[in-house]
Structure 1
Amino acid sequence: MKKGKKVKEPIRKSISPIENDEVSSVEEEENESLQEETEEDTEEETEDTGEDTEVTITSKKPVSRFRQIVEVSKSVKLRRDPRFDSLSGKFNEDLFEKSYSFLDDYKKSEIELVTNQMKKESDIKEKSKLQLLLNKLKSKISHEHNLKRKKELKRERKKNESELVAQGKNPYYYKKSDEKNLELLDKFDKLQKSDPKVLEKVIEKRRKKNASKEHKRVPFKRRKVT
């Protein structure tokens, strides 16, 4: 038995490499046939798919380099300034003054309230504070009245000029200095009618102001005439 085994082993060794090569070749052929079958199946599936079949899309989105860290809401983007927006229309000054005319009455009542408080107040410091507040309120009202009067005078000038142009005369364009002089004349006329003493004080004050301006223009050292 031992001798038979020794004889068979070299035969097996000589046969084994042949068998291994055959097995590997068979396996390769089987793998190739399987690949061909799977490719044919996939081609048949793609041919069978129509419009009704579902399409899978990846949920991954490419991220840009410039990311928006803080998201701005739509309400913030839609904010607009009515002063510079054409949707708000043109500003009608006359309509505005008529709509808010009640503010003048409110300011007058505020002045009356402050004056009454001043009369009742005994503390000197508080009284001085109220006096300052009263002066501010009065100056504000007078400033607003002056602006309104300037606008009225401007309208009157435009109306007069348009009438003169309609008659065939050449148009005259007022300078700022002309407008200022006309405004001063109007103010002096009103003071003359209401209180002549106040007009005298205003004229004297303006005269001193103009004199101080002229004095500043005079040189410190005049040249000697030879």
Structure 2
Amino acid sequence: MRKSKEVVESSKTEVQDSEEEHESSSSSSEDEEEIERELADVTFEELQKARSNGSHSVYQKHNEVKKGGRANKNRPMEASSKKPVGRFREVIQVPKKVVRDPRFESLCGSLDVDGFRKRYNFLYAEELPAEREELRKQLKKTNDPGVTKELKDRLSWIDKQLKYKSVKHTECAILAEHKKKEREAAKQGKQPFYLKKSEIRKRRLVNKYEELKASGKLEAYIENRRRRNAAKDRRYMPYRRPDNSE
């Protein structure tokens, strides 16, 4: 029994020794391979200097270069693989496009509203009304639903443009007249009074009322507005649910 126990213990110690030797040999071989890889880029002149001096400056210098920055400024910077790469990164440097907004750029000059209105007044006075009449003629001739929809959309857009132009023109005329009166009052030593948007809107409605009354279309306009308002109110009017008992 004692002999068998001694045999077992001796075999265990032999196995442990063999494993330790194998691990030490593998670690030493890995270290040697790592050193060979590190010394692969070292020049022959540096190796000769290290051999003559008997120092390990080449190996230390190589480690310092590996830890620090780049050996050559033209080489790309080495990045760590442990840090996650950003989703958006600049791979190639390209010149950035400078977007300029003419509304806020001094290079484009300032907007002259009166000059713009005078230069492009032909669009609202001639071009758009003529196009509207032509579209109405085409709308009467065609029966295609797709073409009809396109023509109606274009007509509604033209109507909105002409209506907006007339409203803006009326408001600008009211504001110009008010400024003219205020300049004359300021010459006499009075404080200037600036119109609010609500006041400009009120004056515009008064001018429209006077124009409709002078042309005799006031009653028709009021009746048309009344029908529109009634149609809007009818949309939101609640209806009684049908009684199941009946």
TM-score, normalised via structure 2 length: 0.49
Q: 1:69 aligns with which of 91, 98, 101?
A: 91
Which residue among 134, 138, 141 is the counterpart of 1:117? 138
Alignment match, 2:27: none
Which AA in structure 1 matches 2:118? K
3-state DSSP of counterpart to 1:189: helix
Deviates more, 1:107-116 or 1:130-139: 130-139
1:146 positional shift: 1.0
Partner residue of 1:218? none
| Aligned position for 1:100 | 120
RMSD: 3.5
Structure having the higher Rg? 1
The verdict on how the C-alpha distance between 1:64 and 1:82 changes in structure 2, with shifts beyond 3 A counting, is farther
1:91 aligns with 2:111: yes
Shift of 1:160: 1.0
When normalised by structure 1's length, the TM-score is: 0.53
Deviations for 1:17-47, whole angstroms, at most 9, x for unmatched residues?
Answer: xxxxxxxxxxxxxxxxxx9xxxxxxxxxxxx
Percent sequence identity is 33
Unaligned 5+ runs, structure 2: 1-51, 53-71, 80-85, 234-246
Distance 1:120 1:114 in 2: 10
Q: Which of 196, 219, 224 matches 1:200?
A: 219
Residue 90 of structure 1: CA displacement? 0.9
Distance 2:201 2:166 in 1: 16
Cα distance change of structure 1 residues 203 and 126 upon mapping to structure 2, 3 Å threshold: same
- Out of 79, 86, 90, the residue aligned to residue 99 of structure 2 is 79
Which residue type is aligned with residue 70 of structure 1? I
Query: Is the 8 Å Cα contact of residues 186 and 192 (structure 2) preserved in structure 1?
Result: yes
Aligned-partner SS, 2:171: helix
In the TM superposition, residue 183 of structure 1 has moved relative to its aligned partner by 1.0
Equivalences, count: 151
Residue in 2 that maps onto 1:4: none
Assess, with a 3 A threshold, how the Cα gap between structure 1 residues 203 and 170 changes in structure 2: closer, same or farther.
farther
In the alignment, residue 60 of structure 1 is paired with which amino acid? N
User: Which of 209, 212, 216 is residue 188 of structure 1 equivalent to?
Assistant: 209
Q: Which amino acid in the other structure matches residue 69 of structure 1?
A: V
Question: Which deviations, in whole Å up to 9, do the C-alpha atoms of 1:104-140 show, x marking residues without a partner?
Answer: 222122112112113323x284686345543442232
Q: What pairs up with 1:11-26 in 2 under 5 angstroms?
A: none
CA distance change for structure 1 residues 167 and 126 in 2, over 3 Å: closer, same or farther? same
Structural mapping, 1:26-175, within 5 Å:
60=74, 63=77, 68-73=90-95, 76=97, 78-104=98-124, 105-121=126-142, 123=143, 125=145, 129=149, 130-131=151-152, 133-175=154-196
Structure 1's 97 and 64: CA in aligned 2 closer, same or farther, altered over 3 A?
farther
